[in-house]
Amino acid sequence: MPLVFAIDDLKDAVYLHATICESLRLYPPIPHNRRTALKKDVLPDGTIVDPGMMTVISMYAAGRMEHVWGKNCLEFKPERWISENGKLNHETMSKFFGFSIGPRSCLGQEMAFVMMKLAASAMIFNFQVEVLVGQLVEPKPSIVLKMKNGLMVRVKERVLHV
């Protein structure tokens, strides 16, 4: 019988949380976000944004910016999200806006993380998942980020001896 975790089982799963953050950094489900300015503002590069002006943010590009994420910005490295004391690194978290940031951030962010942790832990614990060799990982532009050719995997049920 497959094991399903409870929410409380995963509240201290820092590496799992970091792995999800790293996945979302490199492959954000919504690759672009747009916002309409409510008041006059100035972007970091000095561009003036007037009220009513729309800005578009590429979450996909932002997750790969070397000046933000470092020389290893294209590497999958969950450890970048964990501080030396083993907790989530709040400095790194402040660079991540996969759910947007500020007063208009996603209200369901915490619930989304809970659901992703529950799904990932159940998959990892109950199944062996192997990505088939030789696939080209190429994004397919759309409102929701997809892989152009999908992702072929081999899934085997784990045999647990209790």
Residue entry with tokens 């003036």? 48
| Residue 91 vs residue 72, higher pLDDT | 72
Q: What whole-number percentage of the chain has pLDDT above 90? A: 62
Looking at the domain assignment, is residue 143 inside a domain? no
Decide if 121 is inside a domain. yes
Burial label for 126, CB within 10 Å (0-12, 13-18, 19+), is middle
Q: Which range of residues forms the domain containing residue 86?
A: 7-35+53-127
Each residue's pLDDT tens digit, 44-82: 889 999 999 999 989 999 999 999 999 999 999 999 999
Look at residue 92 and tell me if it is in a domain. Answer: yes
Greater pLDDT, 29 or 161: 29
The DSSP secondary structure of 4-59, one letter per residue, reads ---GGGGTT-HHHHHHHHHHHHHS-SS-EEEEE-SS-EE-TTS-EE-TT-EEEEEH
Per-residue pLDDT at 34 exceeds 80: yes
Burial of 57 (0-12, 13-18, 19+ CB in 10 A): middle
pLDDT at 161: 67
Give kind and range of the element (H or E) at residue 157: strand 153-157
92 within 8 A of 81, measured Cβ to Cβ = yes
Q: Alpha-carbon distance 82 to 89, whole Å?
A: 5
